[in-house]
A = this chain, B = another copy of it.
């Protein structure tokens, strides 16, 4: 169960307690608690995956900084990114919208244009939802359904010692873009990546088919946090080469590891097959993968990330980084 939250108040305690409340109930065939999606095997070697995200005005977007089109586009993309992270293909979504009176009309039409553009790009059908009034701001809830052969499903818990850790693109653009947006520069390359991100849908489905790929997640909170989820679930450690982290143009190293909302994919791959997989991927998608580190044995029960500098020195907490804070943080 993925229940992300803002870090400000006591939400993590709440999420922990919710998971605990339902732990003893029968699963009705569902698996994947702790992954980006819940998984339902449906027979004949097939599975469906399910994920929900909520985006709320003033928390996840500002209606005076994002166009309605961009908010619609992003609402779909952030959701199907979780499906891609499972190695599955998104097939349908349900969309629920709470809209203040003044948002019906031009704003809602533009929102739907963006939502549809993103949906159509990947053949994702809108199959249901709800529209309600709101006496306060806009609230958006999207549920995505994905489909894949059961054998393709990638779980966070599958990382193995020796695996190479790989990301599908340069990181930090969204965090740098957020700075641009807040400074009123809405048209920079990074601002656009922040406002209308692109999920790695085809890449995720392709990686799902590769047996050499073990654990996978999407980068919604920054690799220091998202990799930690993989390590916690896999009960492993990791060494990340700081020089190996691909930093997007205009972004800092800090943006790249802690910024989040990049919606690239992060995965671990059998080290004997890493090179050939990276070549095949580049042939398939015309862009490179980036090796950033390796999976190692845990240090006692501590599923740490060690950050290795160019002199081979490893530190286990980066100044201001999210890595340390997430030590032992099970989601």
Q: Which residues of A contact B (CB under 8 A)?
A: 1-6, 8-11, 14-15, 17-18, 21-22, 25-30, 32-33, 37-38, 40, 42-44, 46, 48, 50-60, 91-92, 94-98, 101, 104-105, 108-109, 112, 116, 119-120, 123-137, 139, 141, 143, 145, 147
Whether A127 contacts B38 in the complex (CB less than 8 A), given A5-B133, A14-B108, comes out as yes
B94 touches A131 (CB 8 A): no
Find out whether the CB atom of A54 lies under 8 angstroms from the CB atom of B96: yes
With known contacts A1-B128, A42-B43, A116-B21, A9–B52 Cβ distance under 8 A: no
Let me know if A2 and B98 touch, CB within 8 A. Answer: no
Contact across chains for A133 and B91 when beta carbons are under 8 A apart: no
B-side contacts of A141, CB under 8 Å: 52, 54, 96, 130, 139, 141
Report whether A2 and B109 are in contact in the complex, using a CB–CB cutoff of 8 Å.
no
Contact check, B96 vs A132: say whether CB atoms are below 8 A apart. no
Could you list 9 A-B pairs, sorted by A, with CB under 8 Å? A5-B131, A43-B43, A43-B46, A50-B127, A52-B96, A53-B130, A56-B132, A96-B141, A98-B139
The answer for the CA separation of A2 and B10 in the assembled complex, in Å, is: 35
Complex contact A123–B11 (CB within 8 A):
no
A44 to B: closest C-beta gap in Å: 6
The CA-CA distance from A240 to B40 in the complex, in Å, is 43
